[in-house]
Amino acid sequence: MSENEIGKRVLDAAYKVHTALGPGLLETVYEVILAHEIAENGLALGRQKPIPIHYGGKIFLEGFRADLLVEDKVIVELKSCETLLPVHGKQLLTRLRLSERKLGFLINFAAVHLRHGIKRVVNGLPDDEEASREGRQGREGGEEIEL
């Protein structure tokens, strides 16, 4: 399954969770329930997954933790804050680059309309698939950051 196909399924699950729960809960609540929803859709995932970083010929096992790592390909970082800051997108882009992954999503569940709380972050992902448009735009919203 491609990163874009995984991304579409992650966004579908996020919309389902946000529609059911709405904004205003703690980030950890959304993380647990979104992880459940993604797993129910048959995707493998890890929560608070340690991602090693290679630096200076060494491997540091606790480089960072991904809120969700789906199918070992897509990093999903969750927020429940008033507004996403530019640094949040930069952090995710750096994590994608250091982990050699191509696609990540920054999802802010505090947004009244979830489409305004989604950023699709790419690190060298080809843009030649039909699923790319769907994964990038989700349900007619979000913003893309690309390296």
Tell me how far apart the alpha carbons of residues 31 and 46 are, in angstroms, rounded to a whole number. Answer: 11
Q: Determine the Cα angle at 65 with ends 63 and 66, to 5°.
A: 130
Give the pLDDT score at 126: 77
Whether residue 143 has pLDDT greater than 90: no
Sign, CA dihedral 116-16-88-4, equals negative
Tell me how far apart the alpha carbons of residues 38 and 99 are, in angstroms, rounded to a whole number. Answer: 22
- pLDDT tens, residue by residue, 103-122: 999 999 999 999 999 999 99
Give the pLDDT score at 147: 44
Whether residue 138 has pLDDT greater than 70: no
Give the pLDDT score at 24: 94
Q: What is the pTM of this model?
A: 0.86
Tell me how far apart the alpha carbons of residues 75 and 100 are, in angstroms, rounded to a whole number. Answer: 11
Give the pLDDT score at 89: 95
Tell me how far apart the alpha carbons of residues 119 and 116 are, in angstroms, rounded to a whole number. Answer: 8
